[in-house]
Structure 1
Amino acid sequence: MLKFILLACALLITANVHAATATNITNQAEKVSPLLPGLTVPALTLKDKNGKNVVLAERFAEKTTVLIVYRGGWCPYCSKQLANVQKIEAELAELGAQIIAVSPDSPEKLAETKIDSPNYQLLSDDSLLLSQTLGLAYYLDDKTATIYRDKLGVNFVSVKGKEKVALPVPAVFVIDKQGLVHFQYANPNYKVRLTESLLLAAVKSVSEQ
């Protein structure tokens, strides 16, 4: 646990520095170390689809937050997950929860999405700083990076110049108003996502505390 606290502090210090200075990126998706329940998400600032700054701590303070970290709008599994969560948006709202979904997509890419709700916001982590803070970032191997770029036309964030590209392992966190993580689900197999019923149960447990 001390490891994560020290890491969070280090990343907070470098929050205003180019992402290339942050190094919490593993070489494989299976080796990521997601932030554990009981720890606090550092106060970082991301951008919305209009390029405006959004301070996560301020959003967290409003209500219980379902924080979804996904690979990008180009990923069909991510798109399906976002759509499925949108189906239970009203139920989450009744439990006093909001939805914040974050990806490496640029604000311009986020603007192309059809999700438009005051209770369901998409944010850009195009520097991968949040993904690194949450312990989710990993480098793609060269073969996979080439396939994704050539066949999907995806523009990835390059954390170490042109040699390496990185993505986050898809994850879901349930966070209280103080920014404390109460529930976490992260799976290196990007095809397997958290079910809506389990997510609702996790949010309900937080709202009852």
Structure 2
Amino acid sequence: MNTKTIPLALLLLALVLSVNTASAQSANPQPQSIKPTDTGNTPMLSKLLEEKVAASAERLPENVRQTYARGIETVRETNIENTAKQVGDAAIDAQLSGWDGKSVKLSSLWNQGPIVLVWYRGGWCPYCNIQLRAMQQNMDKIENAGAKLVVLTPELPEKAKETAEANDLGIVALHDQGNAVARKYGLVFDLPEAIIPAYRDKLKLPEYNGNHAMELPLAATYVIDRSGKITYAFLDADYKNRAEPADVIKAVEAAAKK
């Protein structure tokens, strides 16, 4: 064999092997290297709520959006954000039961350490569901900061159970029947006349709450320290705005040091 032909033969063999390897990889593509997502970071609640607002804006007619916007302003004009319980006020104690049938006294909880007291309007409210899921995702951080999360709602226990199951929540909501506790906190408002038909007929509020009262609580969040004093308050007439979990956690950390 002519030794001068060996390099050429090897070159041809290498070319054939390269083509075959490329064909095999094309037929059986290897998974791409993807940078892992940092699962320790959850999206800000405000961003999730903004996305929901944008989606609703695309779906709802302009006249409907304006009606709800006027409703929010009507509630704000009652000055409820300023007349409700504020930072520095004494918290209201109450004995309430969850959908699991267990009874809880609020003061027995805050005597052990700070509590985060959150009201949600009902499982019919998408903004409430987004908030509840966000609080669930931050449960460990809230507890590690030294607090217990306590959720109150006017919806019936069986409805609250459905809300928890639909959102994969480990949170057991306490039933604030007839908004009795929310009323003592100054959080209850009458629904503006223009939006009553939607809440009554479309959202089925009477079925959720077990009564025909056309009223709701603000979606308020409080942090209460072990002395029973309110150290953080989120109060907004706009139901699309909610307390950011990171802000709540900071408030809990401050309250736990007292």
TM-score exceeds 0.5: yes
Task: Name the structure with the higher helix share.
Answer: 2
Q: For residue 50 of structure 1, what is the aligned residue in structure 2?
A: 100
Which residue of 111, 115, 131 maps to 2:161?
111
The 1:185/1:179 distance shift into structure 2, 3 A limit, reads same
How far is the alpha carbon of 1:144 from its aligned partner? 1.4
Q: Which amino acid aligns with 2:216?
A: L
In structure 2, distance between residues paired with 1:208 and 1:53: 28
In structure 2, distance between residues paired with 1:116 and 1:178: 29
Q: For residue 29 of structure 1, what is the aligned residue in structure 2?
A: 75
Q: Which amino acid aligns with 2:144?
A: E
How far is the alpha carbon of 1:56 from its aligned partner? 1.4
How far is the alpha carbon of 1:116 from its aligned partner? 5.0
What whole-Å deviation, never above 9, does each CA across 1:141-179 have from its counterpart, x for those lacking one? 2331221121122226588xx5x5210011100011222
Greater Rg, structure 1 or structure 2? 2
After the TM superposition, which residues 149-168 of structure 1 pair with which residues of structure 2 at under 5 Å, given as runs? 149-155=200-206, 157=209, 164-168=213-217
Q: Does 1:148 align with 2:199?
A: yes
Kept in 1, the 8 Å contact 2:100–2:172? The answer is no
After the TM superposition, which residues 72-83 of structure 1 pair with which residues of structure 2 at under 5 Å, given as runs? 72-83=122-133
In structure 2, distance between residues paired with 1:181 and 1:123: 19
Structure number with the bigger relative contact order (C-alpha 8 A, sep ≥ 6) is 1
Structure 1 unpaired stretches of 5+: 1-27
Q: TM-score, normalised by structure 1?
A: 0.77
In structure 2, distance between residues paired with 1:96 and 1:53: 22
Give the 3-state SS of the residue equivalent to 2:172 in structure 1. strand
Q: TM-score, normalised by structure 2?
A: 0.63
The 1:29/1:53 distance shift into structure 2, 3 A limit, reads farther
RMSD: 2.0
Which residue of 117, 133, 138 maps to 1:88?
138
What whole-Å deviation, never above 9, does each CA across 1:98-133 have from its counterpart, x for those lacking one? 10111111111112213554xx43111122111111
Give the 3-state SS of the residue equivalent to 1:127 in structure 2. helix
Structure 2 unpaired stretches of 5+: 1-73
How far is the alpha carbon of 1:201 from its aligned partner? 1.4
- Count of matched residue pairs: 177
Q: For residue 238 of structure 2, what is the aligned residue in structure 1?
A: 189
Q: For residue 110 of structure 2, what is the aligned residue in structure 1?
A: 60
Identity of aligned residues (%): 28
In structure 1, distance between residues paired with 2:147 and 2:238: 27
Kept in 1, the 8 Å contact 2:87–2:231? The answer is yes
Q: Does 1:131 align with 2:185?
A: no
Give the 3-state SS of the residue equivalent to 2:243 in structure 1. coil
How far is the alpha carbon of 1:94 from its aligned partner? 0.8
